[in-house]
Structure 1
Amino acid sequence: MTVLIAVTLGGSLVALVLGAAGHRRVGWSALVGEVVMLAAMADVHLPALGLVPAPFWAVLLGGCAMVTALVDRVRRPSRPQGDHLHALGMLLGAVFVLLGTVHADAAGHHHGGALLLPIAVAVAVHVGAVVWGVGRRRAARVESVRRIASLVGVLAMGAMVAVH
């Protein structure tokens, strides 16, 4: 579990640093969303923290995802550059934050396939879209690494929920 926490926080931190370094390509809303994602991951998953309730983080991440997708759509209506994929990652992060706290609150409780199947499909679609977007276009290397680092952080967060 410690390795997954380190991978989750590391992936999110790398995505944040690379997004800030290439600020001309990454919108401010995606950077704010990345900061919120990093704070939520740290607060929910580090045992010593837990300062803010997980539902608050989930709502905040959902709001950041909607603003990021909207800003990306308004800024580049004919060809969005990937912030909408980051928004999907934030939504998945919000789901993982909630599921992680449900697992912690109800030890031994297992979710049925009815709940996990749509989440697994959403994760698979997100992974496919990020890989397709990075492989299909000639995106800048920094941007490609940022997208992959963000994806790794979200996947590790999902793995923590699955293992928990």
Structure 2
Amino acid sequence: MIENFQNIEVLNLEKRSKIIDKPNRNEVILLHVKAMKFEWKQYADFEKNHRAEGREIIVLLPEEMLGDLIQLKKTCDALAKRGIGESRDYEYVIRWNNKLATLHLLFSERKKMLVERQKSIQEIFGMIKRRIDKLNLMLKTRNLDMKRELSKKTAMARSNMKDLLF
């Protein structure tokens, strides 16, 4: 039975992900799983105006769970999905130091749908900006053409006026 755990606010998921994946001198990484639709960088970009990007839950695992890695993975997958839900990206690492095993579960508090929506809004703004830039270029080109045409007509009118006066 799992009794000991910590729930920690994470300010930089991308950096924390790299840290938990590196073993210390006395530790071994038993398992590393990523169930991600988006990268942590995308969450960081989305959350840049907020205080925290996500959370980390650290769970002390009982020794009985370490015997079978396949069963351990199934149990941790189920724990992650039940604990944070299926609509959030997560990553976990199981670390072992010959005495204790700990599960480090990183996850975004945002549901995937919100990030998809934010991404699609950014894509729409990008598309609108590209269209505006294209229209501005067309108008600039058209204005240059109109100025050239006006210059030609002005030159012709002056020429005609000279012919009439002289």
Structure whose alpha-carbon radius of gyration is higher: 2
So what's the TM-score if we normalise by structure 1?
0.29
Please give the TM-score of this superposition, normalised by the length of structure 2: 0.28
- Answer 1 or 2: which has greater helix percent: 1
Higher relative contact order (CA 8 A, sep 6+): 1
Higher relative strand content = 2
